[in-house]
Amino acid sequence: MNKKVYAIPEPGISNPITFNSKICIGCNICVEICQVDIFIPSPEENKPPIVLYPGECWYCGNCVVECPKPGAITFNPLLMNRVHWKRKNRSEG
Ligand code: SF4
Ligand code: SF4
């Protein structure tokens, strides 16, 4: 007997990873490399994986580094970790 299994992404958490479905080839290297298994492969062939557990991401960036298709996967660092450089105005204290 075949059983259906449903997987629903964790709600209410900002997504640490974004895929570009026009570039991603669905090789699932990022799925394999993630040490906390936040992704599952897409049920559709050659499509980007699904981010199932965004709250588990360690923000290590390994999935982006190992992806063979530049631009297919983008890392979205936590807001507090985004650095915005500003030229120092030497006339100010
Ligand atoms: S994002 Fe990169 S590593 Fe992940 S499935 Fe797509 S092409 Fe493969
Ligand atoms: S940044 Fe690290 S922990 Fe987060 S999805 Fe990529 S490999 Fe997994």
The answer to whether residue 84 sits within a structural domain is no
The answer to whether residue 66 sits within a structural domain is yes
Q: Which domain holds residue 32?
A: 27-73
The answer to whether residue 90 sits within a structural domain is no
Q: From atom 5 of ligand 2, which residue's Cα is the shortest distance away?
A: 57
Distance from the alpha carbon of residue 70 to the mean position of ligand 1, in angstroms: 9
How many domains, the chain?
A: 1
Which residues, 6 or more positions from 14, have their beta carbon under 8 angstroms from its beta carbon?
A: 54, 76, 78
In this prediction the pTM is 0.85
Q: What is the DSSP letter of 79?
A: G
pLDDT digits (tens, 9 = 90+) for 22-50: 999 999 999 999 999 999 999 999 999 99
CB 80 within 8 A of CB 14: no
pLDDT digits (tens, 9 = 90+) for 46-79: 999 999 999 999 999 999 999 999 999 999 988 8
